[in-house]
Structure 1
Amino acid sequence: MTKVATILLLLLVSSFQPRPKKHIIFFGDSLTAGYGVAPAQSFPSLIQHRLDSLHLPYSITNAGVSGETSSGGRSRISWVLRQPVDIFVLELGANDGLRGIPVSGTTENLQAIIDAVKTKYPSARIILAGMQMPPSMGATYATAFRNIFPSLAARNKTALIPFLLQNVGGIPRLNQPDGIHPNPAGHRIVADNVWRTLKPLL
């Protein structure tokens, strides 16, 4: 076999080798965990299905915990970061808002999580999922809470999902009876919201 033929054969064989998978971690609360829906119906699972259908070499870890606050996330982030991460999607804060936790505390906790990711994996891309509070929490608090996410994204130069529940929040037919958690149809829309921000980073 000539040298050229050998090189061509090696190139052909390497083209069929599976590319090493990159890792995406979805780190959040019950919205990420898929509370009230089958695991395959949660938006992280729907994103994984989309990645697989496009033959993109990414593996998703769903690190969502129902009831998680930003403080709880801060306490467990080092454990989650034991696994490699190329893209980190941070979805926390909603439970802080529903409990009326001061905005300064939520901001501090989210910043600490972002710092932990940057320190352990400097090349990882971070996506921050924006959240909003209902008017019942008071206009002043709701506005301050909403501003947490674009402010942190700008400060840390991270990607931002403006509002994770865009076109889902407050729409009864897209939510479970509790009016808070998306149903399967709602999760499909949430997956689209996430995909618009995630796709350019792949």
Structure 2
Amino acid sequence: MKTVPILLSCWLLFLVSGCGNNSQSSADSVEAPEASAPTASTPAKAASKPTVLFFGNSITAGLGVDPEQAFPALVGQKIDSAGLGYTIVNAGLSGETTAGGRSRVGWVLRKPVAVFVLELGGNDGLRGIPLSDTRRNLQAIIDTVRQLSPQAKIVLAGMQIPPNLGVDYAAQFKQLYGDLAQKNKLTLIPFLLENVGGIAKLNQRDGIHPTPEGHRLVARNVWTVLQPLLREPTAVSQ
């Protein structure tokens, strides 16, 4: 299955980072913004399928790897192998913060989706953005999804950060994902980068972005949580 990228260049004005490309960012810097070029038009048959939309930053976008090596595309392959009829859309944008995601989520949801996978917050943590802001922005994104695509199942990808900004900040950052999932009755991926984060051989030289092998493990983490949702009859209706 080929993922369907979304043209996001018009949203680069929302990013704080300077213009970037597929080169790796330094370990202590925030991700450089990058927009995906559109591919050929989606066939009518694929367009009629319910959509699983991955909404995130450079981890979702697959910074530094080929698009088909990024975890959303790998999840798409698992969906095909399982005989499940869904279209995968990768709406990842490198450098994205929760504030940027809050600004563009309405544009991304111009059409309803069956499943919305929310992977944002990592850049907030690296920048030391107040946790109250991150929490408020994520809640606003969740609220927008429920308003514009009320039947969508929302999956929240938990993230963790190193204790560079203090042990308390890192612990509270980790906890806010569980709190939001519980409050909103979301499906939670406890830690998107489980068995990948902090392991040098599974990450690029920046220590942040997974290698192709790392993305395969991330896809496994996502698939473990996502597969049961996709098999539920209610997930197919839009």
Same fold, judged at TM 0.5 (above): yes
Aligned-residue RMSD, C-alpha: 1.1
Gaps of 5+ in 1: 1-17
Match for 2:80 among 52, 67, 70? 52
Query: Which of 95, 115, 119 is 2:147 aligned to?
Result: 119
CA distance in structure 2 between the aligned counterparts of 1:33 and 1:83, rounded to whole angstroms: 20
TM-superposed deviation, 1:50: 1.0
Report the Cα offset of residue 83 of structure 1. 2.2
Deviating runs (4+, > 3 A) in structure 1? none
Paired position in structure 1 for 2:200: 172
**Alignment partners' CA distance in 1, 2:161 and 2:193:** 11
Question: Which has more radius of gyration?
Answer: 1
Partner of 1:13: none
1:45-91 per-residue CA deviation (whole Å, 9 max, x = no partner) reads: 00011111222100010000000000000000110000220000000
Alpha-carbon deviations, 1:123-178, whole Å to 9, x = none? 11000000001022210100110011000000000000000000000000000000
* Amino acid aligned to 2:171: T
Counterpart code for 1:27: F
Counterpart AA for 1:140: D
**TM-score (ref. length: structure 1):** 0.90
The yes-or-no answer on 1:131 pairing with 2:159 is yes
Deviations 1:108-132 (A, max 9, x none): 0000000000011111100000000
The partner residue of 1:147 within 175, 183, 187 is 175
1:188 aligned to 2:216? yes
CA contact (8 A) 2:125 2:161 kept: yes
Structure 2 counterpart of 1:42, from 66, 70, 74: 70
CA separation in 2, counterparts of 1:109 and 1:184?
Answer: 30
Query: For residue 106 of structure 1, what is the aligned residue in structure 2?
Result: 134
Q: Which residue is 2:19 aligned to?
A: none
Identity of aligned residues (%): 61
More helix by share: 1
User: 2-side partners of 1:54 and 1:197: how far apart?
Assistant: 14
Structure 2: 5+ residue stretches without partners = 1-44, 231-238
Q: Secondary structure of 2:217's match?
A: helix
